[in-house]
Structure 1
């Protein structure tokens, strides 16, 4: 732990968000995260509207799956290499350079959207943008222990990760609102997507305010040659996870959530476009997707409030188990009562339960893994996190009908949560960290 963390606390041991915000380093890192993720939300919603809800384009299950996959697939490919670099290079410089690169790549993608390009050119731009975005996300997570005291990483994760998710949702809402003003055709989609550049630029400017070396790494245990270290990134992260049962068990739980969430997301997008009509306050189409995203963001916000108290009172194991059971029950309900209101309401519980699991796993990585390898573990974390999502939507696209209406499938995938819970409990028994009190 660097001395930066000490500045985030005081002898009085102030509690809650007020204590965290007393540290200037945490405030700056949080602001960089919020602006970056706001830009991600704008970009994803702008591109999603261009590909999935553009009247000039048609979208079947395979096309929707491809559009969703390109938003998350990149880090599954570059993650292992990025992790090694995050444990070798000054993370402050990485955050600045990566945010600026992302802004430039957004501009290239805007050109592809505005000119009506489809297929490889459009998806290549999106792949590059989101690949750099995930690199930034891993860097922010690996940097957090340098600005927050170790004993309060659960609260810091709850605040930073969840406010970041809310910022992304706000960015998506801004994109949806702007889309209603400038239009849903190619030109309008290009304008909306271009706004994401603002988030990248501001995030880079904020990150530049850190002192050199303030975000680590303090030391590294990699080969002298950078490319050798890069090539070993995935293996190093996997070995570190294997040595840390609390982290390995958390990965199992989180991967189960991502599999179910991926299948449900694909079905939900198709239902919003083809099967559902407006139902009172609930809207179909892109507006319905916005309502579902808002419900998910609200669930994540609640997760931010309740996760640390639950871990303090019941321990990490019980908290993760309860979150998986809650998400499984919600998933079962949406399959049994498949309607527009049910989809929106249940998204609150599924997203909230998944966020509780993620916050616990984030804290496990930051508390139980050494700083010299933490970036590679977070890179492996994001690689698995996104790979499971891509795998789920790819498999689901094969069996889903055109309109996405498949209640039996949505009921069946609820069992994945239960399988993940059993796997998590079995692996967690190897660890003495399951009753950890932050």
Structure 2
């Protein structure tokens, strides 16, 4: 089933329409918020960021919920998920407004700097908690036999919101940068993000308090939420995962590919800031980064329709190996060019390959992990996914030059992708090729056959 036909079928459910609108609008506001953060920290006239500064931004964005997520996520099975979404975006609207006012006023030193970065940290951390709640509540907006289709469509559409919000943020930053100055334009970006969060709050208010669950039965059956109980549950999931070697291989390789993509991202940011433009011209660097972000985002979005085609033709296991080989070849080409447009095209292809591989990993983990452990195993997934990107910033600080582009580093990235392809191919031979095809019925069903969902 294609994306359009799948959405058309689900669109007849008013709760699903509202949930999808809420998710797109909230993620668009989050995309605008991220642009404001990156512009202020990395692309303001007074900043001259290096890889350590970028690693700090990544840590600020990704680490907090990665660390505390396992201990607060069980609350989503006890609290009203509609209220979680509602109050999360109320909080983010307030925080984005505070950040915008602080930057606009110029009070960005001393205690005000602590308030500023504390607000940024909390605002970014809330995002993943809210999205987890919306994912858990999705099943309450569609029929039971449509859940797999819905859970595949929503993560595909969500990134469109992020890209849209980022484009709005960049447009505001550039449109008002000359008129207001960089910092005041950045403050306006944060205020636009706050307006987006207010819009998502208004959409969320259309749900009744229990519309997204949990139901009384779900709340009664929820896992205990104490720290020891959560730790014990994660340990049980870890023991279960050790009996699923196919899932372990997929998760490990996902972490490596995420780190390699992170290295490319840091390299492009440094090149835009220090190589392609004078350090005194952050606006031009930010413009290049916006083009790079759109190119990479396009690769992410196109991965969803690409993987079913490849899986039907070659099988999921071979597709995963081929994607890594493709990433290796493209990365090797990138080692021998500093051409800006060429690197944008390369980033599109790498984004397409990495996101396509992630879809393969999602499918493998879903197929090989028992239902009662999936939530906790995906906690490991989330920790590895985000932690690897932060680690990429740290590694970049040691291996990348100030200009970002290094022949040796990019050859190393290409070799690492090739090693991932070899590891996946070896695992297919050792564990059996058929084990990597489990759970792929929705991927390999002919287009238009029944109601087969797309991959998440």
TM-score (norm 1): 0.84
Task: Give the match for residue 388 of structure 1.
Answer: 388
8 Å contact kept, 2:302–2:352: yes
Which range moved further: 45-54 or 373-382?
A: 373-382
The answer to whether the aligner puts 1:74 opposite 2:64 as a matched pair is: yes
Task: Give the match for residue 323 of structure 2.
Answer: 323
Q: 1:328 to 1:47 in 2, by over 3 A?
A: same
Task: Give the match for residue 131 of structure 1.
Answer: 125
Task: Give the match for residue 135 of structure 2.
Answer: 141
Q: 1:271 to 1:238 in 2, by over 3 A?
A: same
Which range moved further: 197-206 or 223-232?
A: 223-232
Q: What SS does structure 1 have at the residue aligned with 2:403?
A: coil
Q: Distance in 1 between matches of 2:421 and 2:59?
A: 26
Q: Distance in 1 between matches of 2:297 and 2:401?
A: 28
The answer to whether the aligner puts 1:103 opposite 2:68 as a matched pair is: no
Q: 1:237 to 1:424 in 2, by over 3 A?
A: farther
Task: Give the match for residue 359 of structure 2.
Answer: 359
1:92-241 to 2 correspondences below 5 Å: 92-114=82-104, 115-117=106-108, 120-147=114-141, 156=150, 159-183=153-177, 184-211=181-208, 212=210, 214-216=212-214, 219=218, 224=224, 226-232=226-232, 234-235=234-235, 237-239=237-239, 241=241
Q: 1:222 to 1:437 in 2, by over 3 A?
A: same
The answer to whether the aligner puts 1:437 opposite 2:441 as a matched pair is: yes
Q: 1:32 to 1:64 in 2, by over 3 A?
A: same
Q: 1:222 to 1:157 in 2, by over 3 A?
A: closer
Which range moved further: 101-110 or 288-297?
A: 101-110
8 Å contact kept, 2:334–2:346: yes
Q: Distance in 2 between matches of 1:323 and 1:232?
A: 36
Task: Give the match for residue 4 of structure 1.
Answer: none
Which range moved further: 265-274 or 352-361?
A: 352-361
Q: Distance in 1 between matches of 2:143 and 2:250?
A: 22
Query: What do residues 45-74 of structure 1 show as CA deviations (whole Å, max 9, x unaligned)?
Result: 111111111113232232233223312222
Q: Distance in 1 between matches of 2:351 and 2:332?
A: 14
Q: Distance in 2 between matches of 1:307 and 1:23?
A: 27
Q: CA deviation at 1:208?
A: 4.2
TM-score (norm 2): 0.81
Q: How many residues align?
A: 422
Q: 1:309 to 1:271 in 2, by over 3 A?
A: same
1:225-304 to 2 correspondences below 5 Å: 226-232=226-232, 234-235=234-235, 237-239=237-239, 241-242=241-242, 244-245=244-245, 247-277=247-277, 284-304=284-304
Task: Give the match for residue 44 of structure 1.
Answer: 34
1:303-342 to 2 correspondences below 5 Å: 303-342=303-342
Query: What do residues 201-225 of structure 1 show as CA deviations (whole Å, max 9, x unaligned)?
Result: 3334434444516454764765545
Q: CA deviation at 1:263?
A: 0.8
Query: What do residues 214-244 of structure 1 show as CA deviations (whole Å, max 9, x unaligned)?
Result: 4547647655454544455644554454455
Q: Distance in 1 between matches of 2:91 and 2:158?
A: 20
Q: What SS does structure 2 have at the residue aligned with 1:71?
A: helix
Q: 1:203 to 1:227 in 2, by over 3 A?
A: farther
8 Å contact kept, 1:83–1:375: no
Query: What do residues 349-379 of structure 1 show as CA deviations (whole Å, max 9, x unaligned)?
Result: 1111122223333445556656655443433
The gaps in structure 2 that reach 5 residues or longer are: 443-456
Q: Distance in 2 between matches of 1:354 and 1:410?
A: 16
The gaps in structure 1 that reach 5 residues or longer are: 1-8
Q: Distance in 1 between matches of 2:83 and 2:375?
A: 15
Task: Give the match for residue 6 of structure 1.
Answer: none
Q: Distance in 1 between matches of 2:233 and 2:201?
A: 25
Q: CA deviation at 1:174?
A: 0.9
Q: Distance in 2 between matches of 1:201 and 1:103?
A: 6
Which range moved further: 50-59 or 220-229?
A: 220-229
8 Å contact kept, 1:284–1:340: no
8 Å contact kept, 1:304–1:356: yes
Q: What SS does structure 2 have at the residue aligned with 1:276?
A: coil
Q: 1:320 to 1:152 in 2, by over 3 A?
A: farther
Task: Give the match for residue 400 of structure 1.
Answer: 400
The answer to whether the aligner puts 1:22 opposite 2:22 as a matched pair is: no
Query: What do residues 264-317 of structure 1 show as CA deviations (whole Å, max 9, x unaligned)?
Result: 111100101111159xxxx95111111111111211222122223433454432
Which range moved further: 424-433 or 284-293?
A: 424-433
Task: Give the match for residue 453 of structure 2.
Answer: none
